[in-house]
Amino acid sequence: MIIYKRDIVIISVFLYLVIISTQPSILESTEVSLAGHMILEHLFFFLFGAMSIMLGEIILRNLVFLSLPSSASQSNKNIRNISKNKNIMLDRTSLIFAIVIKWKYLLSKIFIVNRSGYRHIWIIASVFILAIWHIPSIFDFADRHIQVHIAQHISFIVVGATGYLAIRSFGESFNLFLLLTLMCMMSFAGLLFSVTQTSLYTVYSVHDHNEAGTYMIIISILMLLIGFPVYLIHRALFHTQIATKKQE
């Protein structure tokens, strides 16, 4: 198997999210207040969706590796050389090969959108799903009906997956735009919640709205003062390393 440190982190976080998602008491605690619902729960399911895509890529890579002849595992250098060799054929009679083919077919259906020039569909899907569920009447209805509420959670996982695909598809310019958009939307919504005197979502009190708004404004400010500069520095260092390697 080919497991990197990054893979271990992704697998660990994904398993942790799975454990949380199977504990109703934990999820219910995040919905006691509107702040928990709007911030913690959204973050949890968005992260779950993104991690599912990352984990899928790890599984696919290792399924392909396990399907290679045993001699391919002699060294990392041999693995890279063999993976580049187009003449190597997988064992078509093996169960692993069948799994790989099914998985590759599924991923090809997902990622064909990127290759066909319709990458913006990921953004449209994410915005549409979020907009629908945050209409006050639909939000309240989902909160009162467990089946609809579960569907809401699943759709948020989809938003995390499609959002991650959009980030992967559009590159750094889009990431900067997305980060700035998130900060602006969160600060605007936070300001709206913090000053409202009526409950937009009737399942929560006015105090819950004001409290959620305060937290959202604080988080947007932290994103602007800490998250945004950290991202810029990280990308600058990344490109500096690439430039240095090219010069060498």
Indicate the pLDDT class of residue 16, thresholds 50, 70 and 90: confident
Indicate the pLDDT class of residue 41, thresholds 50, 70 and 90: confident
Query: Is residue 208 domain-resident?
Result: yes
- Greatest Cα pair distance, the chain, in angstroms, is 70
CA distance 128 to 120: 12
Indicate the pLDDT class of residue 92, thresholds 50, 70 and 90: very low
Q: State the chain's mean pLDDT as an integer.
A: 77
Query: Is residue 26 domain-resident?
Result: no
Query: Is residue 126 domain-resident?
Result: no
More confident residue, 118 or 15: 15
Residue numbers of the domain that contains 211:
172-248
pLDDT of amino acid 63? 67
Number of domains in the chain: 1
pLDDT of amino acid 68? 55
Query: Is residue 199 domain-resident?
Result: yes
Q: Mean pLDDT across the stretch 130-159? A: 89
pTM of the model: 0.72
pLDDT of amino acid 72? 43
In this predicted structure, the answer to whether residue 113 has a pLDDT above a threshold of 60 is no
The answer to whether the beta carbons of residues 182 and 174 sit under 8 Å apart is: no
CA distance 52 to 199: 35
pLDDT of amino acid 91? 47
The first and second tokens of residue 176, run together, are 């900067």
More confident residue, 21 or 230: 230
Indicate the pLDDT class of residue 210, thresholds 50, 70 and 90: very high
The answer to whether the beta carbons of residues 40 and 46 sit under 8 Å apart is: no
pLDDT of amino acid 71? 44
pLDDT of amino acid 201? 92
Query: Is residue 41 domain-resident?
Result: no
Indicate the pLDDT class of residue 209, thresholds 50, 70 and 90: very high
**Residue environment code for 90-121, b if the CB has 16+ CB neighbours within 10 A, otherwise e:** beeeeebbeebeeeeeeeeeeeebbeeeebee
Query: Is residue 238 domain-resident?
Result: yes
Query: Is residue 123 domain-resident?
Result: no
Cα torsion 127, 131, 132, 133 to 10°: value is 110
Query: Is residue 200 domain-resident?
Result: yes
